[in-house]
């Protein structure tokens, strides 16, 4: 009997021990439909109660009791991480480090980009479809049996949080790294009562409609994950945020330490696997969290026998820091579709002439980090000799969500480099705090966008989809008024005083968008080469930006432009929304 067969038999036994005997629908899409029914149709920031007499965390406790999980959560040896930016990267670094130390790891993050299973990782791999369905329907059916008027089915994120605890308990992980969904104090993950250690990543202005419009208010929510006398770490913060964090730590007698950014010299010549200087902040926090976890669980001395000097990092830490991967953050993907359409005479080593730089930045601070990373990434190509250009070619996005990197040298003639912005953000965000720092940071680094394309996301916010889900048939008939508003703001940033984007003007933009909400017209390919000096804002003619009717058509248009002009290399920065980044990744995989 093969080892694979034995492993599957053991896995099946583990799953069956943890689930009730319910008839299970076999279709993965049926599970997605069930999940979609849990999406609450409330405006973001609506703080009205759902669930009758129970508060959110009280409901979470009730759901966990129904599933028999309440008393088992503490056994997960949890690392709990909040923050505005960097919490996902910190969790990813932490998981990779402890996995390299030999522990069975569980990682719960959000949101997902392509498939909901990305949120649940066991030993670095997203949970298999079969296991997901077993655990999903077991939780679903047990909760469905017990719902009442005062305890309805949980909203989507609460259900996914409960499901994460179910999966990690049944899979018997040694450590669970749990990323907060939104805020901290009232977040569904804060049902955790006895974590091993807590962390707060960098804080900034985000989700202000829910967390408040001051940094102090946001910090108060984030520090809400602190538990009495449980160690916690944070990173250097602005004083307004740090004062609140210190006050909360003092109230709860929390041993709080500030983790310094990781010293590059400690990497021993290796590079962090996640790009951007800001990742050294996240890596420093992850190292502190993992050291504390190892010490508090009694594993530090077992593993390293005190032979590691305080200034050094163990080899397992170095492996984790240099191999951790997270999709959609500072990710470079070479479009292999455009490459496959080339003639057979083209260089077999060529990476292709359409490269996507993806970063789901959606706050002012993260947008600045994104701009610095993009400028550095394309700047490296600009400085290389035309006949020998080195790029990261992410040839394949693996089934486990990790990225397979392959660095290669491209033998090619001179290429005309075009930097393109592909942008969208949710309408609850203020694009006037996102686009200006993007432009100014790129410009100061010598990077200027030839064109900006504004496109609606393909994802809908009222349906959970999988990587295999059918693209909506009405995708080209959606309202584009928000995209026209983004374009107008972009033109104001680029052209300066001549344009205004005050609230009084939005009505006009909405009217214009309403008239064009069924637009299917794409710019001619020549638009990509047209000089921005042809812009005539007074006549609403823009040569440096365009509103595109849909994302699939935009990807096809870019591919056609590159295919038509062999002398062109197009570098596309995709940012503003993780939904947009996920949609692009989904299309590039097809």
d(CA 91, CA 290): 10
d(CA 60, CA 63): 5
Q: Two tokens at 344?
A: 């057979």
d(CA 320, CA 181): 24
Contact call for residues 353 and 338 (beta carbons, < 8 A): yes
d(CA 138, CA 141): 5
Q: Two tokens at 63?
A: 């759901």
Mean pLDDT confidence for 548-575: 94
Is residue 569 pLDDT above 70, yes or no?
Answer: yes
Confidence of residue 17 (pLDDT cuts 50, 70, 90): low
pLDDT score at 540: 66
pLDDT score at 179: 99
Contact call for residues 247 and 240 (beta carbons, < 8 A): no
d(CA 372, CA 446): 10
Is residue 38 pLDDT above 50, yes or no?
Answer: yes
Asked if residue 329 belongs to a known ligand binding site, the reply is yes
Asked if residue 362 belongs to a known ligand binding site, the reply is no
Q: List domains and CATH numbers for the chain.
A: 50-323 (3.40.1190.10), 331-460+476-589 (no CATH)
Q: Two tokens at 335?
A: 């479009």
d(CA 312, CA 102): 19
Query: Radius of gyration over alpha carbons of the chain, in Å?
Result: 24
Contact call for residues 110 and 26 (beta carbons, < 8 A): no
Q: CA-CA-CA-CA torsion for 387, 388, 392, 396, nearest 10 degrees?
A: 60
The SS3 of residue 377 is: helix
The residues, any chain, with a CB within 8 Å of residue 518's CB and separated by 6 or more, are 476, 477
pLDDT single digits (tens) 285-343: 999 999 999 999 999 999 987 666 656 899 999 999 999 999 999 999 999 776 555 54
The residues, any chain, with a CB within 8 Å of residue 588's CB and separated by 6 or more, are 333, 335, 336, 337, 356, 397, 555
Look up tokens 């406790």; give the residue: 61
Asked if residue 121 belongs to a known ligand binding site, the reply is no
d(CA 237, CA 281): 11
Q: Two tokens at 221?
A: 């929510």
Q: CA-CA-CA-CA torsion for 156, 486, 207, 109, nearest 10 degrees?
A: 50
pLDDT single digits (tens) 79-117: 999 999 999 999 999 999 999 999 999 999 999 999 999
Angle value at C-alpha 159, between 157 and 163, nearest 5 degrees:
115
The residues, any chain, with a CB within 8 Å of residue 388's CB and separated by 6 or more, are 409, 410, 411
Asked if residue 278 belongs to a known ligand binding site, the reply is no
Is residue 404 pLDDT above 90, yes or no?
Answer: no
Is residue 505 pLDDT above 90, yes or no?
Answer: no
The SS3 of residue 452 is: strand
Confidence of residue 473 (pLDDT cuts 50, 70, 90): low
Nearest to 332 by CA among 404, 272, 267, 384: 404
pLDDT score at 147: 92
Asked if residue 110 belongs to a known ligand binding site, the reply is yes
Prediction pTM value: 0.85
Q: Report the half-sphere exposure of 146 (CA within 13 A, side-chain side).
A: 16
Q: Report the half-sphere exposure of 316 (CA within 13 A, side-chain side).
A: 18
Mean pLDDT confidence for 389-403: 37
Q: Two tokens at 453?
A: 């394309």
Nearest to 464 by CA among 185, 132, 166, 210: 132
d(CA 385, CA 410): 10
Sheet holding 175-179, edge to edge: 125-126, 120-122, 105-108, 175-179, 78-82, 197-200, 232-234, 256-258
Confidence of residue 537 (pLDDT cuts 50, 70, 90): low
């Amino acid at each position: 009997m093969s080892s694979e067969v034995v492993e599957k038999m053991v896995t099946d036994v583990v799953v069956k021990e943890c689930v009730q005997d319910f008839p299970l629908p076999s279709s993965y899409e049926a599970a997605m439909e069930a999940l979609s029914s849990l999406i609450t149709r409330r405006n973001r920031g609506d703080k009205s109660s759902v669930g009758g007499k129970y508060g959110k965390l009280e409901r979470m406790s009730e759901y966990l009791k129904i599933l028999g999980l309440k008393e088992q959560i503490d056994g997960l040896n949890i690392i709990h991480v909040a923050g505005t930016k960097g919490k996902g990267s910190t969790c990813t670094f932490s998981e990779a480090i402890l996995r390299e130390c030999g522990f069975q790891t569980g990682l719960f993050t959000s949101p997902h980009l392509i498939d909901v299973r990305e949120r649940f990782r066991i030993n670095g791999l997203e949970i298999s479809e079969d296991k997901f369905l077993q655990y999903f329907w077991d939780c679903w059916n047990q909760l469905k049996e017990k719902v009442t008027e005062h305890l309805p089915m949980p909203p989507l994120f609460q259900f996914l949080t409960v499901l994460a605890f179910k999966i990690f308990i049944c899979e018997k992980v040694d450590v669970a790294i749990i990323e907060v969904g939104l805020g901290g104090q009232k977040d569904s993950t804060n049902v955790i009562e006895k974590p091993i250690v807590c962390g707060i990543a960098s804080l900034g202005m985000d989700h202000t409609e829910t967390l408040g419009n001051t940094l102090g208010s946001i910090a108060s929510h984030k520090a809400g994950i602190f538990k009495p006398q449980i160690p916690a770490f944070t990173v250097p913060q602005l004083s307004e945020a740090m004062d609140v964090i210190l006050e909360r730590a003092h109230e709860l007698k929390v041993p709080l330490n500030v983790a310094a950014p990781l010293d590059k010299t400690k990497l021993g010549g290796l590079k962090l696997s996640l790009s951007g200087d800001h990742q050294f902040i996240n890596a420093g926090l992850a190292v502190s969290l993992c050291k504390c976890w190892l010490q508090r669980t009694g594993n530090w001395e077992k593993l390293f026998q005190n032979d590691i000097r305080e200034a050094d990092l163990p080899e397992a830490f170095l492996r984790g820091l240099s191999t951790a991967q997270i999709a959609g953050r500072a990710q470079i993907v070479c479009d292999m579709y455009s490459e496959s359409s080339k003639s057979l005479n083209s260089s077999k080593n060529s990476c292709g002439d359409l490269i996507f730089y993806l970063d789901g930045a959606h706050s002012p601070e993260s947008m600045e980090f994104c701009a610095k990373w993009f400028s550095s990434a394309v700047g490296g190509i600009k400085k290389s000799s035309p006949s020998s250009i080195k790029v990261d070619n992410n040839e394949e996005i693996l089934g486990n969500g990790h990225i397979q990197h392959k660095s290669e040298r491209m033998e090619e003639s001179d290429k005309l480099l075009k930097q393109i912005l592909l942008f969208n953000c949710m309408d609850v965000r203020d694009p006037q705090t996102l686009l200006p720092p993007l432009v100014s940071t790129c410009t100061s680094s010598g990077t200027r966008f030839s064109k900006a394309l504004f496109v609606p996301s393909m994802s809908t916010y009222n349906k959970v989809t999988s990587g295999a889900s059918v693209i909506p048939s009405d995708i080209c008939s959606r309202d584009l008024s928000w995209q026209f508003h983004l374009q107008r703001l972009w033109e104001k940033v680029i052209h300066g005083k001549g344009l205004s984007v005050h609230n009084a003007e939005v009505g006009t933009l909405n009217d214009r968008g309403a008239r064009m909400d069924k637009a299917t017209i794409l710019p001619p390919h020549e638009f990509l080469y047209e000089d921005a000096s042809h812009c005539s804002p007074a006549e609403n003619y823009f040569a440096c930006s365009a509103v595109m009717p849909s994302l699939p058509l935009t990807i096809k248009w870019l591919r056609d432009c590159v295919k038509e002009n062999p002398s062109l290399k197009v570098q596309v920065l995709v940012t503003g929304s993780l939904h947009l980044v996920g949609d692009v990744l989904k299309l590039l995989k097809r």
